[in-house]
Structure 1
Amino acid sequence: MNDVIEELLIKVGLQNAHWDLQSERVVRIETQDGLFALKRWERTPQEREHFLHHLRYAERAGMKGIIPLTNRRGDMSMFETNRHYFYLEPWIEEQPLMSPPPKELRLLTILALNHKISEDEEDMTEDELSTYKNEVQQGWQQDQLLMNQLADQFEHSRFMSPFELTFLNGYPFYDMMFGEMKKGFQKWTRQVKEREGYRFAFCHGRPSLEHGLIAADGNAWFTNWETSGPGHPAYDLAYFYQDLARHEPFDPLESKQLFGTYEAYGPSWGEADTGLLKALMLTPAPILTFARAYATDPLRYAEHQWTAMLESKLSSLRYLLQMMQWKEKQEAAMQGS
């Protein structure tokens, strides 16, 4: 690996620079001109072209919080070795925040601004909508089938473990989440059918606290735009809110801050958009995947660790449900006033 990095440093004009391996795919480089991050590309050549195309679009459109790629000559080239592709970007050192707003709201503002800048609409025929609905519903059916298979397997255990009991006690909650997702999705698809089109914007793809940085000047940045591209803003928001809930669930009252910040800086938002957000955000799929991992390899962790992690995932999903309930109550009150 050292030889590969040294070869790449020569290609990008940073030979003899001091470097440290930060992870399996990220190298931190110190030079007289500043700090850089060298990142290994782990996707397909087609995805690489999409990535570069999307970054060029974002640069032209004036998107916020995007760390520019550089090869020291000003373009967005990637650098190739015999085995991997890499790209280079300035390194932004994370700084502790000394004043409000908190990190999550600064990052949410970046998402909102980018969605507003890039918002557009595209036609969707009834056949196209029907095809999409079938794909989504098939995915839900597979998840529900897995849920029932796991429940059957755990119920037939001679002596139920704490993990199995916790999973089974949550079964009515998972089932309710599938019902809530379907209601939200139906609300969104009705609007798409009426308008014969759907909204989309430039999305990060995987916005999270880990992929967000606050620089010394207080500006917010997102890294890892590798899955960026056009999509409904709800896809970014669902991923971001799910990540917040995993890290440290907030008090339900803070739903007002989260939704309020996005709507203050982002595109217009309606009940149908909330419906799609609900359909994306309330999925019990991560819990089901985790339970399948337990069923496959129960000795991977101690029983109490498995159970604690499952309870944490359940708590996160309950918090997300509280968020959506708050939002729907707010919209109902606005509609009735």
Structure 2
Amino acid sequence: MGSVKDVLKKYGVYPHQIRKISERLYQVSDGQHVYALKQSRLTKNTVQKWEQIYHQAYALNLPNILPVYLTRQSDLYVKMDDSYYYVTPWIFEYQQSREQAITNGFETIGNIHAKTKQSISIDTDSILGNFRQYRQKNAELQNILLDYVSRFEQNRFMSPFELQVCTHYHVLTRLLPELDDHTVRFMNELESDQKWTYCLCHGHLTLSHFLHHRHTYLINWEQAAYDHAVFDLTTLLHGQVRHYDLSPEQLVELFSAYNRKNPLNTSEKHLLTIYLLDPAHYMSLIDNYVEHPEQQTMIKRTQLLQSAFHQLELGLKWSTLTQYDDIPESESESEA
């Protein structure tokens, strides 16, 4: 606790009460104000980028980013014993439903993405080349998955994990063509537009990082970077699937809150769907089961596989329920 008090002195804060909330978070009261003291995971290689985020938040007037207090020396952090500490106001949250929390979260990140969004013209050759390789890799997955299913079915008694894979197989056979269709349509959009958008991305976007008290704040910007908005959105949507209390249909409906702040264009819609349909994580769990069977318990493996499968189910529903402005090649050919 001594080091915590030493850090607080740098801010001119002399605490009456310090509560340890978690391994890296303290609630501090000086009798007049309540603060949050965070022992961050920042390093000498990342702290400068983190500082820039807060300078930009001030310059661009981003009120949804919870401000960080300055030390007496006007620094944003205190370095002590190889750790970086920073102090913010403590936000006492209002109780709200998960639907309202997600809506507020979508509005908040949509506002941040919109205010920081930039568009650049790009040479699409390398990007299109990467997506051609991606299509080829996904085309091979059907046979790889079929080989796994055939191998598992030869076992006299399948394990719970193997039974899951065999049960999921028919869904994956529907998913892969859907993924390829969106990949082709995204590539077509990119070829015709040749522009790429990027914005300030949180980098670790979970619902727990949104705090609601009259106003919605987003905290913990330690992994932030300028990147494509779909990376934040994929992380946030995947996180909601684990709770099982909201259907994909509800998530699609709630996502309109994001689109009101930062509407996605056609290529961005396809790119988001591609990430939601991407089976790489699901396949890696099967690979690990076959190659390193001793690494995890069966219960843990089945939980991870089921979670990954639910994420893919969200992708399939998302693909069906999202309105895209282009016409799939199969439809244009049938009309001709």
The two structures have a TM-score, normalised by structure 1, of: 0.81
TM-superposition CA deviations, 1:159-203 (whole Å, max 9, x none): 321122102332443454444334333333333332332122222
8 A Cα contact 1:245 1:320, kept in partner: no
Are residue 310 (structure 1) and residue 305 (structure 2) matched?
A: yes
Residue of structure 1 equivalent to 2:220: 224
User: 1:102: Cα distance to partner?
Assistant: 0.7
Q: Aligned partners of 2:75, 2:137: CA distance in 1, in Å? A: 37
Q: Distance in 2 between matches of 1:251 and 1:26?
A: 33
Task: Encode CA deviations 1:103-133: one digit per residue, 9 max, x unaligned.
Answer: 1001101111122222221121134434654
Secondary structure in 2 aligned to 1:170?
helix
Distance in 1, matches of 2:52 and 2:142, equals 37
- Measure the CA separation in 1 of the matches of 2:136 and 2:26: 41
Secondary structure of the structure 2 residue equivalent to 1:323: helix
Aligned-partner Cα distance in 2 for 1:90–1:138: 50
What letter matches 2:44 in structure 1?
P
Alignment of 1:247-326 (within 5 A): 247-266=243-262, 268-291=263-286, 296=292, 300-301=296-297, 303=298, 306-308=301-303, 310-326=305-321
Shift of 1:258: 2.2
- Identical positions, percent: 20
Match in the other structure for 1:79: 78
Paired residue for 1:233? 229
Q: Distance in 2 between matches of 1:239 and 1:147?
A: 25
Q: 1:143 to 1:40 in 2, by over 3 A?
A: farther
Distance, in Å, in 2 between the alignment partners of 1:299 and 1:9 is 43
**Structure 1 residues 46 and 331 mapped into 2: Cα distance closer, same or farther (>3 Å)?**
same
Q: Is the 8 A contact 2:43 2:84 kept in 1?
A: no
Name the count of aligned residue pairs. Answer: 329
Measure the CA separation in 2 of the matches of 1:178 and 1:43. Answer: 39
For 2:81, the aligned partner's letter is N
Counterparts in 2 of 1:92 and 1:74: CA distance versus 1, 3 Å: farther
Task: Tell me the TM-score normalised to structure 2 length.
Answer: 0.81
Q: CA deviation at 1:205?
A: 2.2
Moved more, 147-156 or 52-61: 147-156
Structure 1 CA distance for aligned equivalents of residues 222 and 137 of structure 2: 24
Asked if the contact 2:135/2:183 (under 8 Å) is kept, the reply is no
Matching of residues 50-69 of structure 1 within 5 Å:
50-69=49-68
Q: Does 1:205 align with 2:200?
A: no
Structure 2, gaps ≥5 residues long? none
Matched, 1:92 2:88: no
Distance (Å, rounded) in 2 between the aligned partners of 1:73 and 1:193? 52
Change (3 A) 1:196 1:38: same
